[in-house]
Structure 1
Amino acid sequence: MGDVSGSPGGFRQRVVCMRRLFAGCRRVGSLFLVALWLLSFSAEGASPADPRHRQAVEAARRGDHAAALPLLDELHRNNPADPSLLYDYLVVLAWAGEDARALALLEQVDPQQIPLYVLEAAAKSLRQQKLFDKAESLYRLGIGRFGTALSLREGLLYTLVDAGKHEEAANLAKSLGQIYPGHAGIQYAIAYAAEGRGDYVTALQCYQRILGWQPGARRAQRLEILALAAIGEPFMADDLASQHPGLLNAAERHRLRADQAALVTRWGRHGSELPGQRFAETDRALNLLNANEQAARADLPGGEAFVQRARIDRLVALRDRVEMARVVEDYRLLQAECVELPPYALQAVADAFLYLEEPVRAADLYRRTLEYQPDNFEAAQGLFYAYIEQEDFERALKLGEALRAQQAAGPKRLEAELLAALGQIFAGDLEEGESRLIPLYRRAPANLDILGETGGVYGARGWPRRAEETYRMGLALDPAYLPLRIGYAENRLDLQEFEQAGGLIGTLGDEYPEHKAVQRLQRLWQAHNMRELQVSVAAGWSSGSTFGSHDLSLAATLFSAPVHARYRGFAATYLDQASFPEGHKTLQRFGAGIEYRHRHVQGTAEMTWNVSGGQKMGGRLAAVWMPDDIWSFPAEIELFSRDTPLRALKHGIRADSASLGAHYRRDELRRYWLHAGFMDFSDGNFRYSLLGGVEQGLIVRLHYRLDGLLEFYTSANSEHDAPYFNPRRDADITLTLANDWLLYRDYRFSFHNRLAVSVGAYWQQDFGIDPTAALRYEHVWEYSPRFFLLYGVSLARHSYDGDGENQLGCHLELNWRF
């Protein structure tokens, strides 16, 4: 280039000399002569004849392109045939970043004839304009013409990287590194190629190698800092930046600090194994983010983007700190400013809404996250739980199966299969859920999540002892694993191991007060330690008078808070009344007693005072023995039994009773029971009875369940002419279909509709067989675990002594802890 790299006159002759010289250097193995020649070549460049040409070139060399370009433009227009002016004009345009204008001049020359320095400038402009194929072709042409020009190979390497041809670039970089092992320029190019394919470790090694040769190389120092930041070492990068001031601009320093806060936020997600220190890194991250925001605000308007980034990243840190209300508050402020959140921040806000029991909003944000990141398993998992919390089991199950198929050969395969199994459990199909969990447990018997969920489904199916064994297996592997600790604590409640439950729940509450499952456990424990009121009321109207044409029954029991964990005192009142042809009868009874609850035994002892034309005392002892998860054996004995017919009491007859039973509960879908009873009436009558049945879940669907019950009853009496209903022998068999619709559920609150239809047959000695039928409709309101209310109406048809009676009834049950 005229005066940029030598006068154009005699250029070809110099190129020929240069090639010969390089060939000679290769033969003698020395570059010393080449260096001398290049020095002479640079000095040889004679100044152009036109002083203005010389003035433009000198201005360009000083970097004063604004002064150089107008002169060169004028000279070129006046002398369009002068190649030296054209070459110099093209190169200075390239230096000035006027690549499009430089490439317009390139069309006026023959690439086969232009000098090396022009070819390099033109190829670089092509690269800058992202015309990578043309740039690559020009570099390769230059290498063919000027084979020894190392700068062309460097340019080609940069071009291949920019074009995304990383494999070719890697091969070229490896070759250049082997040929020129000590060349700093080649190391820069190798580093650039490594960064292009995301290999910042190799790039860092190149910069450190350069600094080993040239300790004061500021370019290498700067790139080393940026490479450290890229490999996730922003703190080391910041230390180096502090040791070498001025290498980074303000935006890069802000970015470095933002990366530091992001790294500490990620550390905080793993937390410390010590519960009291699990938020230490997250708190540190929040402090860094606050400091970064203040520093960026002091640098406005240049720091505005970093103010916004600090505010967005703080959403994640606050989520990790479980300060969910603040997450939502800050999100709404950003939303009001029309700030577009990146996917990771949308997911953090979705997690916050889900925690705050707003699953509809959470689901919307999870879906938006997945639009940006379709393979984000954690976001899909959050969406699954948001659907569950909305009671949208259909979409939850569909999503669970989709994730299971998507991860069939992926890294999250086990988690996806576990999620699909949980979907069945949450939807109420415990049997299907268990059938999916057991194969997972067999494949990964030491997986703590699978052990925890297996214990959970065992508990839900009514097998607390089997659940206990599973939890203990998991805790033996990792005693500190939180889900297992939570499940085991609830299992203590299920098994009525109240002393252990209280200690475990108290510790969990102290260590993890923000955890939703721990909060649920605390609510259960608080309800357990409250007083409890149980009320049942029934009223009926009958077309006959066997048990009274109008009857009313009320029972109310108030339990104290537990004493020594296992004992509760109680006071009770009972009222029974009915109208008979021979008159009205009312029985009022008061009771007081104590209840005892243990892992294997639950018992009640009660003393009663009965008012029925005179005060009479009674008493009741009841117990249930539960040796395992399947069998239970109730027994009861009562003096002045509550089962004494009111019509017998009307005639001054009372009865004592005793019963013994056996229950077999296979699971939540099937159970059997059998009770043998005996009543000793004061008129000399002895009544023997047998009651049994089987209940089977027939249909279990989303928000609906249908159970079938088959019950039978038979009795025999020793006396026959009693003033109360007293058949010699009788038998009753009933088939019931019980429907349950879950119409509404929102976390702890639920509302059910129930409809039961019964048909059967009743046989009475001397009166034959008559059909029976009943219809019962109920509403059930529940605010778990403290409030339960059931009320309903019933219609029934039954025969007594051959006469059919129609019965209309209503009933109410209340259970309230306070």
Structure 2
Amino acid sequence: MERSPYSNTLLFNRNTKLSLSIGVLLLFPTLVQGADSLYDQQILQARQGQYAPFLSYLQQYQLRHALTPSQVADWLQVALWAGQDDEVVKIWRRYQVYMPLPARGTAAAAQALRNQKQWQASLLLWQQALSQSPDSDDYRIGYIKTLADARKDGEALSEARRLVAEQASVAHLQTLSYVYLRLGKSWDQLLVDTQILDREPQNKAALASLMATLTRNRIDSPALGLANSVELTPAEKRNLQLNAAAELVRLADTPSREENARYALARTALAQYDAMIAAWRPDPQAAPDITRARIDRLGALYANADYAQIIREYQSLLAQQQVVPDWAIGWVISSYIALKQIEPALTLIHQHPSWLTSQQNEEHELFYALLDTGQYPAAQRYVARLTRNAPYIRHLYGSPTPQPNDDWLTAQTLNVHYLSATNALPQAETRMQRLAATAPGNQGLQIDYAAVLQDRGLPRAAERQLKAAETLEPASLQLERQQAWVALDLQEWRQMDLLTDDVIARSPRDLNTQRLARAREIHHFSELRLSVGKGLHSDNPVSGTHDLSFETAVYSPPIADSWRLFGGHRFAKGNFEEGKGSRRQLFAGIEWRPRDAWGELELSSVNFHGENKPGVRLSAAHDVNDRWQLGGELERISQQTPLRALRNGVSANRGEGWLRWYQNERREYRVSVAASRFTDHNRRQEYTLSGKERLWQTPWLTLDLQPGLAASANSRTDTAYYSPARDLAATAALTVDHTLYQRYDTVWSQQLLAGGGSYWQKNHAAGAITTLGYGQRLRWNNLVDAGVMLNWDKRPYDGKRENNLAITVDANIRF
């Protein structure tokens, strides 16, 4: 039976001396009249807590004399005060057969049976005592409390309320408070305890009850504030201090609070824990409380986003053979996940499976960690478990109307994220569009739909979706973060900076915010672009034999948001029948990147055929919308000039225009037209059509078809370089991109290419084109994107099929 400070404050409380005095003076008048006798002296001693003399005396006395009903009642009451419940029940059962006992004796037996949790027997005796003394307030209170103990809730509450309605005295309010305690209505009990203190502010029992009620309702700081008004043991005081610090941890972990306020609460809690632990270390009795403080402190560290310290403290607890309970292990699991250490997190989850369904997993960070590490089957099982346990609607107790199930919506949203991460973007868009359309007032769904559109390469559509969602809650952190990501794709640099600054100011330690801040930081890095090509075996007239080419370019950090300076070096060489040919080019320029546009102006010095000549390149592109892009390029001494032409002192100026159509990540096409004017008066026109069609995908693999059509015409064929009068190539290639390893921002993949087609050249028979390629690529920490590719192709040149085996390396490095 849960004890309340009010549960034994009546006559029959064996621990409260005030009630004993009242009982003796009011109910034992015969004892007061004979105070000079030995019997009465021992009664007075019993009132002062010295029970043994009277009980021993009466035990011997009853062996020689017959006891009166009043003496039996005295015996019952003093034995009750002494805590001898078994003896009280034994005496009562012996004597109640032979004589009618006074009401106070019956009540003593009723209280003893209540102490023994024999509720029904106790209730019968309370009723008997009340029949003997109907006006006794104490007996009525004892009866009501026993009703509450016996879980006769309705009757106990009704009787207690009637008692208070008759007279709202402190004793009656204490009785109602006890009934509320037994009913588990702690908030109602808190109200009653407050009313008691309004009447008697210095009532120790009321203060103790209020402190206990505040603690049960987790209102711990006010409870600690009452500690000095109540007699407490050191252990009880430490418990209150721990509860108050834990309250700060709970408040700091409340998502609705502003981030700065949450961190301030967390730091306050940490300071309190550190002070308590330091003060308690010299006391061996405080060892369990120190352990509890260290475990509770994990929550404060988590609220303060100090994940590494949580792991160190957890490992320290384990080293000292301390057990971290389930309710605290979630902080450790989440910290491992936050630090991208998913393996120990999974080990702990296996040991504590209840964490998966606890409130500590409301953010589903494990699911996203599984996606980030390429553990797609486990992520799929995670979603399946949620879906299986979350019907579309739920029936709340007491409500006839079915209610939407938030868990169902969460499962559907996570499923969309799974589909997006596993290359099933069409299905992801379809499902998220339906969810967003059916819940236009749910901003989270609108934001998630925009994220799917962005993943599909449609940032302007995502921007429009986010703009519509902005009307629901303009200052939403989730909204601003997603708008910043879209602004980055749209080259809205100023907008991206403003949004990111605001998000960082409001949630600096949030992992999603840190990821956005990191992306912006990388955007402001310098950039190195490197590409190298080496012919391993070649006998074609275009590249020659033992050919080598490389290009390096360094781009500066952004200047005034949209501008970057760049410079670099290009080199190419090859062996031809007439000798070696080479080209060296030093270049520098400026890049312009506003919204919906891109441009580069490059000036260079080109060395070929033993002389240097100035070169100029102007490139530009304009995004009409998410689908269409227009672009063009003008270049003096074009990079597309065949090396063999340069070897023989012939250069070319070139102009090109292109049009790109992009549907989504699964389909796109590009058509271009180019014209070159060679210094030997040759005029070349080139027409190309290329595209991509996604054929198949799995979480780790994509299969694309890349069709291509290329045609060219030259005004001269009597040149030192390959220059067919007319030619046409139609090809199709299958490309496979297979992820070998994925762990957060590190992805290692391999690529396989196989294709073929036909080549037609004027005055020559058509011939087959065969292409094979294999490569690998590594993307690391969003700083390095590097790959190597081995290519082999065989195709006709002037009617003769030639082989070409080459290796290429490219890299893009931020620093």
Distance 1:203 1:511, change over 3 A: closer
Shift of 1:774: 2.0
Q: Which residue of 2 aligns with 1:555?
A: 551
Aligned to 2:16: none
Q: Assess if the C-alpha contact under 8 Å between 2:31 and 2:40 holds in 1.
A: no
Q: Structure 1 stretch 283-292 or stretch 372-381: which is displaced more? A: 372-381
Cα drift, residue 280 of structure 1: 2.8
Question: 2 CA distance for matches of 1:406 and 1:371?
Answer: 15
Matched to 2:641, the amino acid is T
1:515 corresponds in structure 2 to 510
Q: Given that residues 69 and 102 in structure 2 are in contact (C-alpha distance below 8 angstroms), is that contact kept between their aligned partners in structure 1?
A: no
Matched-pair contact (CA < 8 Å) for 1:76–1:89 = no
Q: Which residue of 2 aligns with 1:290?
A: 274
Match of 2:247 in 1: 263
Correspondence for 1:161: 148
Aligned-pair identity in percent equals: 27
Indicate if the aligned counterparts of 1:271 and 1:279 stay in contact, CA closer than 8 A: no
Paired letter, 1:706: L
Question: Contact conserved, 2:70 with 2:101, CA < 8 A, in 1?
Answer: no
Aligned-residue RMSD, C-alpha: 3.8
CA distance in 2, matches of 1:405, 1:132: 45
Aligned residue identity for 1:129 = Q
Which residue identity lines up with residue 551 of structure 2 in the other structure?
A: A
3-state SS in 2 of match to 1:599 = coil
Structure 1 pair 214–688 and aligned structure 2 pair: CA distance change class (3 A): closer
C-alpha distance in structure 2 between counterparts of 1:370 and 1:42, whole Å: 62
| Equivalence for 1:596 | 592
- Shift of residue 505, structure 1, vs aligned partner: 3.9
Change (3 A) 1:424 1:87: farther
Q: AA paired with 1:614?
A: G
Contact 1:366 1:379 in 2 (8 A): no
Q: How does 1:458-473 map to 2 (within 5 A)?
A: 458-473=453-468
TM-score normalised over the length of structure 1: 0.84
Q: Report if the CA contact (8 A) 1:52-1:71 is conserved.
A: no
In 1, are the aligned partners of 2:32 and 2:40 still within 8 Å (CA)? Answer: no
1:313 aligns with 2:310: no
Cα deviation, 1:473-529, whole Å, max 9, x if unaligned, reads 455554543333333333332222234434544555566543333333333333333
Q: Deviations over 1:334-386 (max 9, x none)?
A: 23233333444322222322222222233444565652784426357233234
Q: 1:542–1:805: 8 Å Cα contact kept in structure 2?
A: no
How far 1:403 sits from its partner (Å)?
2.8
- Indicate yes or no: 2:354 matched with 1:371: yes
Structure 1 residue 64 and structure 2 residue 50: aligned?
yes
Q: What amino acid maps onto 1:631 in structure 2?
A: W
Cα distance change of structure 1 residues 456 and 229 upon mapping to structure 2, 3 Å threshold: same
Distance 1:228 1:684 in 2: 96
Residue 674 of structure 1: how far off its partner (Å): 1.4
Between the aligned partners of 2:539 and 2:765, the Cα distance in structure 1 is: 19
CA 1:113 to 1:444, structure 2 compared with 1: closer, same or farther past 3 Å? farther
Of stretches 503-512 and 774-783 in structure 1, the one that deviates more from structure 2 is 503-512
Moved more, 594-603 or 451-460: 451-460
The amino acid of 2:671's aligned partner reads L
| Structure 1 residue 537 displacement after superposition | 1.2
Residue equivalent to 2:4: none
Per-residue CA deviations over 1:645-691 (Å, capped at 9, x if unaligned) read 23333444333222211111112222121112222333443333222
- Corresponding residue for 2:6? none
Equivalent residue for 1:189, pick from 175, 178, 197: 175
1:614 to 610, 614, 619: 610
1:272–1:279 CA contact under 8 A, matched in 2 = no
C-alpha distance 418-78 of structure 1, shift in aligned 2 (>3 A): farther
- Deviation of residue 598 (structure 1)? 1.3
Once residues 133 and 809 of structure 1 are traced to their aligned partners in structure 2, the CA distance between those partners, rounded to angstroms, is: 96
Task: Give the number of the structure with larger relative contact order, counting CA–CA contacts within 8 Å between residues 6 or more apart.
Answer: 2
User: What residue is the counterpart of 1:345 in the other structure?
Assistant: 328
Q: Work out whether 1:124 is the aligned partner of 2:111.
A: yes
The structure 2 residue matched to 1:571, chosen from 557, 567, 571, is: 567
Structure 2: which amino acid aligns with 1:535? Answer: L
2:583: which partner in 1? 587
Q: Which residue of 2 aligns with 1:482?
A: 477
Instruction: Tell me the residue number matched to 1:13.
Output: none
Is the CA contact (8 Å cut-off) linking 1:346 and 1:368 kept in structure 2? no
Report what 2:775 is aligned to: 778
Q: 1:323 to 1:213 in 2, by over 3 A?
A: closer
Corresponding letter in the other structure for 2:516:
L
Deviations 1:731-759 (A, max 9, x none): 32322222222222233322112222223
Instruction: Write out per-residue CA displacement over residues 620-667 of structure 1, whole angstroms, 9 at most, x where no aligned residue.
Output: 221111122221112112222222223333444333222211111112
Residues 792 and 225 from structure 1, CA distance in 2 versus in 1: closer, same or farther, beyond 3 angstroms? same
Following superposition of structure 1 onto structure 2, how do residues 345-424 of structure 1 map, counting pairs within 5 Å? 345-365=328-348, 371=354, 374-376=357-359, 378=361, 381-408=364-391, 409=394, 410-424=405-419
Farther off after superposition, 689-698 or 109-118? 109-118
Distance 1:747 1:669 in 2: 24
Change (3 A) 1:166 1:722: farther
3-state secondary structure, aligned to 1:450:
helix
1: distance between equivalents of 2:115 and 2:629? 83
The match for 2:187 among 201, 212, 216 is: 201
2:144·2:156 contact (CA, 8 Å) conserved in 1? Answer: yes
Q: Distance in 2 between matches of 1:175 and 1:598?
A: 79
Alignment deviations for residues 399-424 of structure 1 (CA, whole Å, 9 cap, x no partner): 23433453444455544443333333
Q: For 2:787, which of 777, 787, 790 is the aligned residue?
A: 790
2:209 maps to which of 202, 207, 223? 223
The equivalent of 2:486 in structure 1 is 491
What is the aligned partner in structure 2 of residue 803 from structure 1? 800
Which moves more between the two structures, 629-638 or 729-738?
729-738
Once the 2 structures are TM-superposed, how far is the Cα of residue 811 of structure 1 from its aligned partner?
1.0
Preserved contact between residue 271 and residue 280 of structure 1 (Cα < 8 Å): no
Q: Which residue of 1 aligns with 2:14?
A: none
Distance of 2:585 and 2:197 partners within structure 1: 97
The DSSP-based 3-state class of the residue aligned with 1:628 is coil
Counterparts of 1:204 and 1:281, CA distance in 2: 26
1-structure distance, mates of 2:104, 2:363: 56
> How many residues are treated as equivalent by the alignment?
779
1:599-678 alignment runs, 5 A limit:
599-615=595-611, 616-678=613-675
Distance 2:449 2:210 in 1: 51
Report the more deviating stretch, 257-266 or 145-154. 145-154
2:426 aligned partner, one-letter code: E
Q: How far 1:443 moved relative to its partner?
A: 4.2
Deviations 1:296-334 (A, max 9, x none): 457x34444433333322221222122223322332332
- Partners of 2:230 and 2:26 in 1: CA distance: 37
Q: Is the 8 A contact 1:53 1:75 kept in 2?
A: no
CA–CA separation in structure 2 for the residues paired with 1:449 and 1:259: 35
Residue type matched to 1:222 in 2? A
Instruction: Give, as a single letter, the amino acid of the residue that structure 2 aligns with 1:221.
Output: L
Secondary structure, in 3 states, of the residue corresponding to 1:804?
strand
Compare 577-586 and 807-816 and name the one that shifted more.
577-586
Displacement of 1:47 after TM fit? 10
Q: Is contact 2:123-2:143 (8 Å) kept?
A: yes
Aligned mates of 1:80, 1:375 — CA distance in 2: 67
CA separation of 1:372/1:566 partners in 2, compared to 1, >3 Å: closer, same or farther? closer
Unaligned runs of 5+ in 1: 6-36
Q: Distance in 1 between matches of 2:681 and 2:576?
A: 23
Cα separation, partners in 2 of 1:789 and 1:105, compared to 1, 3 Å:
farther
CA shift at 1:39, angstroms? 8.2
The separation in 2 between residues aligned to 1:77 and 1:411, in whole angstroms, is: 75
- Write the mapping of 1:712-723 to structure 2, written as runs, cut at 5 A: 712-723=709-720
The one-letter amino acid paired with 2:740 is L
Q: Say which SS state the counterpart of residue 774 (structure 2) adopts.
A: strand
